[in-house]
C-alpha cells in the first residue's frame, strides 16, 4: 500500500512538473500554428506566413511573460492578412463584477495579468519634453482620453510603443506600456496591448491620423471634437426627416442574433413604403458588423429605393466586417455615393465556431474559417469613400451642404 502511494505521488509530481515545463510560449505557438494551417487565410498567404513563423519561432524561445508572448502570437497573425483573427487573454481582467467586489479586485491586483505590463527604464519627464513638440501629423506624441489616461507614443525601431504618462484608472499605473503598435496594410496599425477599462490583453486594428486614435478615441488635442464618430442618435436603429427632400437613417449594427435582429427587423419593416423622399442618408458609422441575416433585409429595400432615388452612405474607421461588405456592395449601385473616411479593412473572412484555448491556458485564439473572395482586395485596405469628410466639423452638416450644392 505504501509503495502504491509513493508511486501515485511520484506520478502526480511528474505530471505537474511536465505540465509546468511544457507551459511555455513556444508550446502555445506550436498549437496555434497547427490550427492556423487549416484556415483559408493560410492557404492564400502561405509564403508570408511560413517566413513569419520561422522568425517568431526563434524569438519566442526566450519569452517568459504573458505580455511578450501575446505580442508575438498576434504579430504572427499579421502575415495572414486576416484581420478577424486575433489572440486575447482568457483572463478578462477587471470587469465590473471584479471592480465592485473589493476582495476580487484585490486578488486581481496580485494576478499575473495585472502585473505583466512592462515598465521600461525611461525618464518620463524627458520623454514628455520630446513628445510635446511632435505635430498632429506625427504618430509620435502625447495623447489623451478624458477621464481615463494620458499616453505617450514613441518610436521603437520600425514600430511604436504607448506608455502611460498619467492615469485616472484604478487598473493602470504610470510608466506601464499599454500598447505595442505595428504598422501594416494601408496606414493601419495592429494595436497589441491592454483594454483601458479591464487590462485584459487584446489586439485590434487601429488607425492613427491627425493626432487621433480613430478606434479608441485618444486625441492629441482634447479641445477638438472628433466628428467622425458622432451620429444623430445613440439608438442602434434610428430615423429622422432632415428636410422635405432628405431622410436620415442610422444602422448601428448588423448583429444577426436576437434581440438585435428582431429590433432590426421591426425597424426595416417601418421603412417599407415610407421612404418617399428623393434623398436618403444611410449612416453606417460605428457599425461593427454582424451577418447577412440582418444586412440582406435592408439591402433589398435600399436596392429597390436607389433605382429612382439617391443614397449617400456614411462610413468611418469603426465601420467593420459585414458593414464594410454592405458598404462596398451598396456603393457599387448607380445613384449611391460613399462619404466619410476609410473603413476598418476587416471584411474578407468570417469567424464560424473557430475559437481555441491555447495549451498554457493563458490565451484564446479567434481564427476565421470562411473566406469571402469578393472582398479579398479590401482586406487591410478598407473601403475608400468617394468623398472624404473633414474630422473637425459636423459630418451631417458637411453632407447636407454637399446635397444642397449638387441637387
pLDDT tens-place string over residues 46-63: 999 999 999 999 999 999
pLDDT in tens, 230-263: 999 999 999 999 999 999 999 999 999 999 999 9
| Pairwise CA distance, residues 218 & 142, whole Å | 9
Among residues 303, 305, 308, which one has the least CA distance to residue 326?
A: 303
| Pairwise CA distance, residues 371 & 98, whole Å | 38
CATH number for the domain formed by residue range(s) 227-347+382-406: 3.90.226.10
Among residues 270, 308, 319, 283, which one has the least CA distance to residue 400?
A: 283
Helix (H) or strand (E) holding 20: helix 2-22
Grid coordinates standing for 280? 436618403
pLDDT in tens, 140-193: 999 999 889 999 999 999 999 999 999 999 999 999 999 999 999 999 999 999
Indicate whether 85 pLDDT > 60.
yes
**Domains of the chain, residue spans:** 14-87, 89-213, 227-347+382-406
Helix (H) or strand (E) holding 337: strand 336-340
Let me know: does 285 contact 316? Beta carbons within 8 Å: yes
Indicate whether 264 pLDDT > 50.
yes
What does the pLDDT read at residue 2?
38
Q: Which fold has domain 14-87?
A: Histone Acetyltransferase; Chain A (1.20.920)
What does the pLDDT read at residue 22?
64
Among residues 158, 101, 110, 160, which one has the least CA distance to residue 134?
A: 160
3-state secondary structure of 293: helix
Indicate whether 4 pLDDT > 60.
no
Amino acid at each position: 500500500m505504501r509503495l502504491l502511494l509513493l508511486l501515485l505521488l511520484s506520478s502526480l509530481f511528474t505530471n505537474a512538473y511536465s505540465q509546468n515545463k511544457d507551459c511555455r510560449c513556444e508550446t502555445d505557438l506550436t498549437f496555434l500554428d497547427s490550427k492556423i494551417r487549416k484556415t483559408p487565410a493560410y492557404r492564400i498567404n502561405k509564403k508570408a506566413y511560413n517566413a513569419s513563423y520561422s522568425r517568431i519561432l526563434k524569438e519566442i524561445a526566450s519569452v517568459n511573460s504573458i505580455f511578450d508572448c501575446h505580442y508575438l502570437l498576434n504579430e504572427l497573425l499579421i502575415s495572414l492578412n486576416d484581420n478577424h483573427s486575433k489572440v486575447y487573454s482568457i483572463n478578462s481582467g477587471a470587469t465590473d463584477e471584479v471592480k465592485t467586489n473589493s476582495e476580487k479586485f484585490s486578488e486581481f491586483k496580485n494576478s499575473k495579468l495585472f502585473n505583466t505590463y512592462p515598465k521600461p527604464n525611461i525618464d518620463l519627464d524627458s520623454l514628455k519634453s520630446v513628445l510635446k513638440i511632435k505635430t498632429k501629423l506625427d504618430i509620435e506624441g502625447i495623447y489623451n482620453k478624458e477621464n481615463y489616461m494620458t499616453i505617450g507614443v514613441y518610436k521603437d525601431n520600425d514600430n511604436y510603443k504607448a506608455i502611460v504618462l498619467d492615469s485616472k484608472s484604478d487598473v493602470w499605473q504610470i510608466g506601464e506600456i499599454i500598447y505595442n503598435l505595428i504598422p501594416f496594410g494601408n496606414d493601419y496599425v495592429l494595436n497589441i496591448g491592454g483594454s483601458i477599462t479591464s487590462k485584459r490583453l487584446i489586439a485590434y486594428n487601429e488607425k492613427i491620423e491627425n493626432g487621433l486614435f480613430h478606434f479608441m478615441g485618444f486625441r492629441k488635442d482634447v479641445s477638438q471634437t472628433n466628428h467622425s464618430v458622432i451620429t444623430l442618435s445613440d439608438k442602434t436603429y434610428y430615423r429622422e426627416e432632415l428636410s422635405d427632400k432628405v431622410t436620415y437613417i442610422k444602422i448601428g449594427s448588423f448583429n444577426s442574433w436576437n434581440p438585435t435582429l428582431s429590433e432590426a427587423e421591426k425597424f426595416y419593416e417601418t421603412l417599407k413604403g415610407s421612404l418617399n423622399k428623393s434623398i436618403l442618408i444611410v449612416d453606417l458609422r460605428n457599425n461593427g458588423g454582424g451577418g447577412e441575416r440582418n444586412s440582406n433585409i435592408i439591402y433589398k429595400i435600399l436596392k429597390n429605393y436607389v433605382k429612382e432615388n439617391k443614397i449617400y452612405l456614411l462610413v468611418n474607421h469603426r465601420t467593420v466586417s459585414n458593414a464594410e461588405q454592405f458598404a462596398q456592395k451598396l456603393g457599387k449601385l448607380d445613384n449611391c455615393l460613399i462619404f466619410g473616411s476609410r473603413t476598418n479593412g476587416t471584411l474578407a473572412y468570417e469567424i464560424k465556431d473557430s475559437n481555441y484555448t491555447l495549451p498554457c491556458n493563458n490565451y484564446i485564439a479567434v481564427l476565421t474559417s470562411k473566406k469571402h473572395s469578393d472582398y479579398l482586395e479590401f482586406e487591410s485596405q478598407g473601403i475608400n469613400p468617394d468623398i472624404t469628410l473633414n474630422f473637425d466639423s459636423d459630418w451631417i452638416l458637411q453632407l447636407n451642404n454637399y446635397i444642397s450644392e449638387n441637387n
